[in-house]
């Protein structure tokens, strides 16, 4: 069958599934997933109190404060979170809705919220020093914008290293007519677990090398020096592998998983035992479905996948660090009628070590995009630093002592990056989507792209269509704090 026709047909099926089972609250608490957000699932009282629908404006209240969360049996993490939970509550909107989020700061220091991936108006972007002053302790700020386009996003603090302290949550804008069919969905947040307060990393690989991660294997970056915070494990939806969350499916169902990486410093390899993954969206954007065994997902990236539940049992959902220096994060995919409630001890998906790994060049948008035209302006940028110094740089400059990248409204901008360092850099542009991947066939729309280590390269192109002062930076929050950022400024 012609692929386009197939997609149209499945679109209708998907729409029908969604139409019948609208969640009726914009906010779901932590307990709502991974069992939810399943269409038709119960609503959550606390969440409902925190949200009210006023026409097409969704009002949400987010309170940033100290929280204690149990990440594993007897393992209580005293940290910071939103509305008393980590990860923060899922904010779920429908296509066309506006979000009005009142953020209250009950932390001992200033904070902001950034709506990662959404091209919001500049004053709503939540970047301290660029778009707003931090919300002071005891203060509040109202963020209001149209939540478009549809997709899987995240929200997080953009002050200092607060993101690595638990101030993160998923933000979902449901499409009215998904281009793929599915029966239920689940949000999967992959995170690294830092028991103490995050601190900037010193030069030359102190920190992680001597810290917690070293316990579980060789320091990330190996002999090149760690520069990894002392993480004590990896989490899926806030739980260590000792207390994995379970995702229930029925045989024959199609399960959509929105996989999101809000972590401070970890690039994951994600796979599910006994099942292949149909990649349907990259950074929230619909792509031509690609079937793989595993994918890499870096900080700030999102991938939606559909899994066909055709292999009954209890299977591991797992995510290892790409460096393999830590026990993988784990959850369970459990068929309703399965005899076993969990996979055998130590069972991990084969996809973590073998099989077809998604490549950026595999991804293409749904519409035929012409090969990109000649850009009006090109930036050639070198990513380097760290390791033997305590700064990370873009073209030798460390933010805030760095020149803005100046653009004019309406220009087509090309950014070429070369990574001269041995570490990975997921580069994220605020306020815009860009095209990346195989640009000769139109590429794929994203907002965060991983630049491989050791002279790895990545190129993206965007149209300067959202005037303002926008941040462009590495989403490893330690690299960001150490200078790997620039302002993109409309002049």
Distance CA 435, CA 365 (A): 10
Residues between 448 and 487 that touch Cu ion (CB under 5 A): 474, 476, 479
- In the shown chain, the binding pattern of residues 415 to 434 toward ligand C2O, with x for contact by CB under 6 A and - for none, equals -------------x-x----
479 interface partner picked from ligand C2O, Cu ion, none, CB below 5 to 8 A per type: Cu ion
The residue among 33 and 155 lying less far from ligand C2O, judged by its C-beta, is 155
- In the shown chain, the binding pattern of residues 135 to 174 toward ligand C2O, with x for contact by CB under 6 A and - for none, equals ---------------------x-x----------------
Can you name the residues that pair with 449 across neighbouring β-strands?
A: 427
Confirm or reject binding of residue 446 to ligand C2O (CB under 6 A). Answer: no
Residues between 306 and 335 that touch ligand C2O (CB under 6 A): none
* Residue whose beta carbon is closest to ligand C2O: 116
Q: How far is the CB of 57 from ligand C2O (least distance, A)?
A: 24
Residues 6+ apart with CB under 8 A from 446: 282, 283, 285, 301, 433, 434, 435, 436, 437, 460
Peptide bond into 149 cis (omega under 30): yes
Distance CA 65, CA 76 (A): 16
425 interface partner picked from ligand C2O, Cu ion, none, CB below 5 to 8 A per type: Cu ion
Confirm or reject binding of residue 486 to ligand C2O (CB under 6 A). Answer: no
Q: Which two tokens stand for residue 86?
A: 């980590």
28 interface partner picked from Cu ion, ligand C2O, none, CB below 5 to 8 A per type: none
The residue among 335 and 379 lying less far from Cu ion, judged by its C-beta, is 379
474 interface partner picked from Cu ion, ligand C2O, none, CB below 5 to 8 A per type: Cu ion
Q: How far is the CB of 364 from ligand C2O (least distance, A)?
A: 25
Q: How far is the CB of 278 from ligand C2O (least distance, A)?
A: 26
476 interface partner picked from Cu ion, ligand C2O, none, CB below 5 to 8 A per type: Cu ion
The residue among 183 and 487 lying less far from ligand C2O, judged by its C-beta, is 487
Q: Which two tokens stand for residue 405?
A: 């990248």
Binding site for ligand C2O (CB under 6 A): 114, 116, 156, 158, 300, 428, 430, 471, 473, 475
């Amino acid at each position: 069958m012609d692929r386009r026709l197939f997609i149209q047909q499945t679109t209708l099926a998907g729409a029908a599934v969604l139409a019948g089972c609208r969640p009726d609250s914009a906010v779901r608490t932590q307990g709502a997933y991974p069992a939810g957000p399943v269409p038709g699932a119960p609503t959550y009282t606390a969440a409902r109190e925190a949200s009210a629908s006023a026409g097409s404006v969704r009002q949400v209240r987010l309170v940033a404060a100290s929280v204690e969360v149990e990440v594993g049996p007897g393992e209580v993490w005293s940290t910071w979170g939103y509305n008393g939970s980590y990860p923060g509550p899922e904010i779920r909107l429908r296509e066309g809705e506006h979000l009005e989020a009142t953020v209250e700061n009950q932390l001992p220091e200033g904070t902001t919220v950034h709506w990662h991936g959404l091209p919001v108006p500049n004053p709503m972007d939540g970047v301290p020093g660029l778009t707003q002053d931090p919300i002071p302790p005891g203060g509040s700020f109202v963020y209001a914008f149209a939540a478009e386009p549809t997709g899987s996003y995240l929200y997080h603090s953009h002050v200092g290293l607060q993101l690595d302290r638990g101030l993160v949550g998923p933000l979902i804008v449901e499409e009215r007519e998904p281009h793929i069919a599915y029966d239920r969905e689940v949000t999967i947040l992959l995170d690294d677990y830092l028991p103490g307060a995050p601190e900037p990393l010193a030069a030359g690989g102190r920190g992680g090398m001597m810290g917690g991660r070293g316990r579980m294997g060789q320091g990330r970056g190996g002999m090149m020096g760690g520069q990894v915070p002392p993480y004590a494990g990896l989490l899926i939806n806030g739980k260590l592998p000792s207390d994995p969350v379970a995702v229930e499916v029925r045989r024959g169902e199609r399960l959509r998983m929105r996989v999101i990486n809000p972590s401070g410093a970890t690039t994951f390899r994600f796979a599910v035992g006994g099942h292949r993954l149909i990649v349907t969206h990259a950074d929230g954007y619909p792509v031509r479905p690609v079937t793989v065994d595993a994918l890499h997902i870096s900080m700030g990236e999102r991938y939606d996948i559909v899994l066909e539940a055709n292999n009954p049992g209890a299977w591991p959902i797992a995510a290892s660090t790409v460096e393999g220096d830590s026990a993988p994060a784990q959850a369970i995919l459990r068929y309703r009628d399965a005899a076993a409630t969990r996979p055998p001890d130590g069972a991990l998906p084969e996809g973590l070590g073998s099989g077809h790994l998604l490549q950026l060049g595999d991804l293409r948008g749904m519409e035929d995009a012409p090969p990109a035209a000649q850009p009006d302006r090109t930036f050639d940028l070198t990513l380097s630093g760290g390791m033997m110094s305590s700064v990370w740089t873009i073209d030798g400059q460390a933010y805030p002592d760095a020149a803005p990248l100046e653009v004019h409204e309406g220009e087509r901008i090309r950014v070429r990056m070369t990574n001269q360092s041995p570490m990975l850099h997921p580069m994220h542009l605020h306020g815009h989507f860009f095209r990346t991947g195989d640009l000769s066939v139109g590429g794929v729309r994203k907002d965060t792209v991983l630049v491989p280590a050791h002279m790895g390269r990545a190129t993206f192109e965007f149209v300067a269509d959202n005037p303002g002062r926008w941040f462009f930076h590495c989403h490893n929050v330690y690299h960001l704090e150490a200078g790997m950022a620039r302002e993109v400024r409309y002049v």
